[in-house]
């Protein structure tokens, strides 16, 4: 785990809120000049703490506001099956998040699509592409109550 001081943490919080904040504003916010601020940012990037700077898009305005959570069980836990499954699922752009789980289900995905028909098409593609899925259970979000990408630093 990386050792971060209060300046590093403040920089990370600011960037999580607005990754387009100019270097001069970031430096002012943490009471540094631009060069030491830039060096800190470079170190955070090199250490892999600051992985990338992205834009967050509005799924409603893009017509893909249907959110599904898919839980999957399998009877096959071989490395070959796992490799095929991961390679298949990670190719689907509709899959926003994908996890190997502990507990009742083996895997869980968060899927973002236009509507139920688009979800059904993805579901059919998944079950046709991957053998040994013993249970695929889906639930659908009615309303997002909290959404953030900001980690508590």
pTM of the model: 0.89
Q: pLDDT by residue (tens digit) across 50-103?
A: 999 999 999 999 999 999 999 999 999 999 999 999 999 999 999 999 999 999
> What Å distances lie between residue 4 and 19, 20, 107, 118, CA to CA?
19, 22, 33, 43
pLDDT in tens, 21-46: 999 999 999 999 999 999 999 999 99
Domains delineated in the chain = 7-47 (1.10.10.10), 59-141 (3.30.70.920)
Q: Single out the residue of 139, 138, 136 nearest to residue 127, CA to CA.
A: 136
Q: How many other β-carbons are positioned within 10 Å of the β-carbon of residue 30?
A: 16
């Amino acid at each position: 785990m990386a050792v971060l001081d209060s300046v590093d943490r403040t920089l990370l919080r600011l960037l999580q809120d607005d990754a387009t904040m100019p270097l001069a504003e970031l430096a002012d916010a943490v009471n540094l000049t631009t060069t030491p601020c830039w060096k800190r940012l470079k170190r955070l990037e090199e250490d892999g703490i600051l992985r990338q700077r992205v834009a967050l898009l509005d799924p409603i305005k893009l017509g893909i506001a249907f959110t599904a959570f898919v839980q999957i069980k399998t009877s096959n836990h071989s490395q070959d099956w796992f490799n095929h499954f991961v390679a298949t699922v990670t190719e689907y752009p509709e899959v926003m998040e994908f996890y190997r789980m502990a507990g009742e289900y083996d895997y869980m995905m968060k899927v973002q699509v236009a509507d139920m028909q688009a979800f059904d098409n993805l579901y059919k593609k998944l079950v046709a592409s991957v053998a040994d899925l013993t249970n695929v259970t889906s639930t659908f979000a009615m309303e997002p109550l909290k959404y953030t990408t900001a980690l508590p630093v």
